[in-house]
Amino acid sequence: MPPSLRSDRELFRALLSYIRSHLRLFLIVTFIIMINIGIAIAAPLFFRYGFSLIENARDSQPSARQVLFAALAYGVFNFVSWFIRVIQFTFVTKLNARVIRDIRVDAFSFVLKNQVSFFDQNESGRLTSRIINDSQELFDTATSISYTLTGIFRLLVTLSVMFYFSPVLTLSILPFMALVFIIARLLRGFQRRVSDAWRKKFAEVNQRFAETMRAIQVSKAFGRESENLKQFGELNEATFRASIYRGIGIFVFWPITDLFEQLLLLLVLGVGTWLIGSGLSISTVYLFILLLPFYYWPMLTIARNYHKFQGAFANLERILHLIDDLDSKEVEVGISAPYPIQCSIEFDHVTFGYNPETPVLHNLCFSVSPGQRIALVGHTGAGKTTIASLLLRFYTPQNGEIRLGGTNIQEYNLHYLRKMIGYVSQRVLLFRGTLRENLLLANPLASDEEIWKALEAVQAREFVELLPCGLDTVVEEYGKNLSAGQRQMISFARVILSNPQMILLDEATSAVDLYTESKIQKAVDRILRGKTSIVIAHRLTTILRSDLIIVLEDGSIRQIGSHADLINQSGPYRELYDLYFQTQSAKYLERIKVRS
């Protein structure tokens, strides 16, 4: 169900909360604008003063000194006003940049704190568009707020001056204010809808582009370049059409208001000429003409910024939806026990499904004693990786409890819980940066000596020493300048550096060859010694070293026991062994060799 739309008032308050964080800078900007308003309005008053001297001279010549003074003051005030606008622009830019920085950091921070299920439901391209593009679109919004608030003040000051010199002429132009606002109100809904539609299409283009780049090798292997280009072209065409509607919604306002400005000038001239016969001075009519920009442009700024706010509010609403989605947030508070945890593991009638209506695990019950090594085996889709995800609290079971050391894992502090568990997944991702930085993710305080010991323990020291810059070698995006086996060894080294109390290995040696696996296996045995561990296994060597084997089928436990117990029983384990486990044994390979 889509989130309910917030009112403009709620969105405006949310934006002001970020501006209040930089209240001092905002007040400086506002003060500078106020000074500029006073100086800018003073210039036309000096012009009227000089013009009235000439107008009232009649038979005598006006004082040249007075006229020169009025003209000089008019020029100086205009120059000072221009100089202050330069200073104003500098401070407003600083305010904008800081507000956008805070919004972007908040959005990114809150997204990082979401549950893994949130990322299952939201594509990375859409999230990128919201955090990066939508926040950038808000860049001018802080400026618009400053100009809108001070524009209201400028409008009130200008109307006061106009009303002082001619109430009738002032009242004759006031209906234009209402007319402009009525038009802005009529355009409001259309502008907001087309802006939001364009953002969504733009996010889809980002998502498709990112997805294509991530899977470029697969696309080329299957010759899908033409199909990818066609799909991207269709999305891009839809985005193009949405941008046309957005452009119409934004820019239709400008020609209409420009026409009103010319009509307003004609109205002032017409009414002013008629009032001259009733005693209104020509200098006052000229004053009104000079003050028209101070009346019309603030009014126009308010109206134009009002429609800008619609686009900005559409962006802000999408960002706030990320921040305010409390149902997706991970609960981080809880127990951070200062004593060693007895890492027994208990799954007590656990039922879970990524979609609650279609469970992946059904009423799962098993326990792991402290220091025991458990192997999870089963066909693809049996629920092995799901068990690891639940232990790390990536997801929460719909029913049942998972306990570590007799305590429900939901009661642990989330950061502490994950520090307790060393996790090596089948798909290892490394971040762009140096190899040292990737290793220090596990233990930021580790020394180079500790890093080299960890690398040596997993048989990775030799290949790291051969790299161009050793530990300072830059790892490219996703670690693609390293082989799959090298990335896997780095992941094992990270686990050693983190020194966890419990180990989860998710098919952790599947990416390495048998020779490298035999070398790593010795290191794995040292890592797992004395620690509670759950190993998702597709290799016979891993299974044989386990204290207990749990056989899963369609999310349920079919068998539990040691290899010696299960191999002599008819059932799914014997079937799995006959299908592919036995083909990994030396005896089987020797029989094949003899037969050939």
DSSP string computed for 260-281: HHHHHHHHHHHHHHHHHTTT--
Cβ–Cβ under 8 Å, residues 55 and 282: yes
Domain that includes residue 130, residue range: 8-328
Residue in the structure block whose two tokens are 């839809």: 238
Q: Do the domain assignments include residue 33?
A: yes
532 — alpha (psi -120 to 50), left (phi > 0) or beta? beta
What CATH number is given to the structural domain containing 515?
A: 3.40.50.300
Q: Is 284 helix (H, G, I), strand (E, B) or coil?
A: helix
**Mean pLDDT, residues 519-535:** 77
Q: Do the domain assignments include residue 333?
A: no
**Mean pLDDT, residues 396-414:** 88
CA distances from 334 to 337, 405, 406, 407, 583 (A): 9, 15, 15, 11, 47
Read off the pLDDT band of 349 (50, 70, 90): very high
Contacts of 152 by beta carbon, 8 Å cutoff, 6+ apart: 298, 302
Q: Residue 372: which of 554, 514, 520, 560 has the closest Cα?
A: 560
SS3 readout for 132-181 = HHHHHHCCCHHHHHHHHHHHHHHHHHHHHHHHHHCHHHHHHHCHHHHHHH
Position 13: which residue type? R
549-593 pLDDT, tens digit each: 999 988 899 999 888 888 888 888 888 877 765 555 555 445 544
Query: Within a 13 Å sphere around the CA of 200, how many CA atoms are in the beta-carbon half?
Result: 10
Please give the Cα distance from 181 to 159 (Å, whole number). Answer: 17
Q: Which region among 33-42, 447-456, 462-471 has the lowest average model confidence (pLDDT)? A: 33-42
Q: Do the domain assignments include residue 338?
A: no
Domain boundary among 302, 328, 354: 328
Tally of structural domains, the chain: 2
Domain boundary among 298, 328, 358: 328
Task: Tell me what pLDDT residue 290 has.
Answer: 81
Q: Do the domain assignments include residue 311?
A: yes
Please give the Cα distance from 258 to 248 (Å, whole number). Answer: 16
Pair (269, 370) in one structural domain: no
Cβ–Cβ under 8 Å, residues 104 and 131: yes
Pairing of strands 373-377, 548-553: parallel
Pair (137, 216) in one structural domain: yes
Q: Do the domain assignments include residue 236?
A: yes
Cβ–Cβ under 8 Å, residues 457 and 493: yes
Pair (586, 536) in one structural domain: yes
Q: Do the domain assignments include residue 489?
A: yes
Pair (251, 397) in one structural domain: no
Read off the pLDDT band of 364 (50, 70, 90): very high
Token code pair at residue 558: 């079919």
Chain-centre distance of CA 10, in angstroms? 21
Q: Residue 104: which of 131, 138, 126 has the closest Cα?
A: 131
CA distances from 515 to 164, 183, 481, 537, 546 (A): 94, 75, 21, 17, 20
pLDDT at 145 over 70: no
Cβ–Cβ under 8 Å, residues 460 and 483: no
Residue in the structure block whose two tokens are 């907001």: 192
83 compared with 516, residue with greater pLDDT: 83
277-316 pLDDT, tens digit each: 777 888 888 888 888 777 777 776 776 666 566 667 777 7
Pair (282, 401) in one structural domain: no
Q: Residue 137: which of 307, 16, 5, 313 has the closest Cα?
A: 313
Cβ–Cβ under 8 Å, residues 558 and 571: yes
Pair (312, 436) in one structural domain: no
Q: Is 545 helix (H, G, I), strand (E, B) or coil?
A: coil
pTM greater than the 0.85 cutoff: no
418-433 pLDDT, tens digit each: 888 888 887 777 888 8
Pair (314, 383) in one structural domain: no
Q: Which region among 25-39, 347-361, 363-377 has the lowest average model confidence (pLDDT)? A: 25-39
Domain boundary among 328, 359, 383: 328
Please give the Cα distance from 4 to 568 (Å, whole number). Answer: 60
**Mean pLDDT, residues 325-340:** 59
Q: Do the domain assignments include residue 179?
A: yes
Q: Residue 323: which of 9, 11, 98, 8 has the closest Cα?
A: 11
- Long-range CB pairs of 277-285 (<8 Å, 24+ gap) are 280/166, 280/169, 281/52, 281/55, 282/51, 282/55, 283/48, 283/51, 283/52, 283/55, 284/48, 284/165, 284/166, 284/169, 285/169
Pair (270, 359) in one structural domain: no
Residues forming a β-bridge with 375: 535, 549
Pair (372, 410) in one structural domain: yes
Cβ atoms within 10 Å of 577's Cβ, excluding its own: 19
C-alpha distance across the termini of the chain, in Å: 63
pLDDT at 1 over 60: no
Query: Within a 13 Å sphere around the CA of 566, how many CA atoms are in the beta-carbon half?
Result: 24
Cβ–Cβ under 8 Å, residues 515 and 444: no
Percent of the chain past pLDDT 90, that is, above it, reads 5
Q: Residue 187: which of 342, 308, 270, 75 has the closest Cα?
A: 308
What CATH number is given to the structural domain containing 194?
A: 1.20.1560.10
Pair (420, 383) in one structural domain: yes
Give the phi and the psi of residue 467 in degrees, each rounded to 5: -70, 155
Question: In terms of C-beta density within 10 A (0-12 exposed, 13-18 middle, 19 or more buried), how is residue 404 classed?
Answer: buried
Q: Do the domain assignments include residue 1?
A: no
Give helix 282-324 / helix 141-165 axis angle, nearest 10°. 150
Pair (292, 437) in one structural domain: no
Most confident of 164-173, 391-400, 470-479, 581-590: 391-400
Please give the Cα distance from 454 to 448 (Å, whole number). Answer: 10
What order of strands is seen across the sheet that includes strand 548-553?
A: 421-424, 502-506, 532-536, 373-377, 548-553, 556-561
Pair (316, 362) in one structural domain: no
Residue in the structure block whose two tokens are 């066609």: 230
Give the phi and the psi of residue 131 in degrees, each rounded to 5: -75, -40
